[in-house]
Every structure is written in structure tokens, then in C-alpha cells.
Structure 1
């Protein structure tokens, strides 16, 4: 689960960088739910693995959390969220 959430977070981070390009901000509407699913996978991974093997899941949770926050800020600045 940890590796899946880490890869999911990296894909979301690349998508976030692409969505920062002007006229591609509509990608944030799909990016936020995508990253939220990755965060849920990471949370499940943290809950199911032993304490010494939680590093990948924690990294995936952090990456997906950053992507969600940046996506919400980007939408609010661009007028996507009223």
C-alpha cells in the first residue's frame, strides 16, 4: 500500500505541475479527487503496516496532501471555487 500511495503521489505531483500552466487549471478539478484517493490509500497503508515500514505510506500521504492544498489554492485564486 505504501508503494502504491507513493507512486500515486508522484503522479499527482506531476499532474499538479502541468495544471499550474495557464489555461490548464481545469485539471485541478480532477486532480483534487485523484490526490484524495491517494491520501486514503496512504492512510490505509499506514494503518495496516508495521511501524518500521510506514515510510513510503507517510511520504505518499504528504505528497498527496501537498497536491490537494496547492490544487485548492490554485482553484480559489483562479475563481474556480467561489
Structure 2
């Protein structure tokens, strides 16, 4: 059950992460990355690791995009 909840949190973070992917909106990742961190924490409590891995991949992608923009753009 926790794995399913983690996957849902990851999908919400993914949907919220689409808008900041546009130029000049990358600062929105400062709000999306903590959601994915919560999803990874919930996924770590689960016996399966699908939800945790989804959220870790999202954190990696969003963090990389945030670093490419210098943390602001």
C-alpha cells in the first residue's frame, strides 16, 4: 500500500514538474523536489522499491534541470 502511495506522489510530482520545464520557470522545481523527496521517503518504508526508484529518478532529473539553470531560471 505504501508503494502505491509513493507512486501516486511521484506521478503528482511529475505532473507538477512539467510546467517548470519551460524556460524561465525552473524555479518551480524548488517546490516540486520536496514533494518527490516525501514520495521517496514513503517508498523507502515500503517492501517494494518501484515508488522509491520513481521518486529518486524524478529528484535526479529535476535537480539536474535546476542546476543547469543556476537554481533560478
TM-score normalized by the length of structure 2: 0.85
The match for 1:80 is 71
Which has the greater radius of gyration?
1
Q: Which ranges of structure 2 fall in alignment gaps of 5 or more residues?
A: none
**Which runs of at least 4 in structure 1 moved beyond 3 Å after TM superposition?**
none
**Retained in 2: the 8 A contact 1:2–1:45?**
yes
Q: How many residues align?
A: 71
1:67 aligns with 2:68: no
Higher helix share: 1
Per the alignment, in what secondary structure is the counterpart of residue 18 of structure 2? Answer: helix
Q: Which ranges of structure 1 fall in alignment gaps of 5 or more residues?
A: 47-53
The match for 2:46 is 45
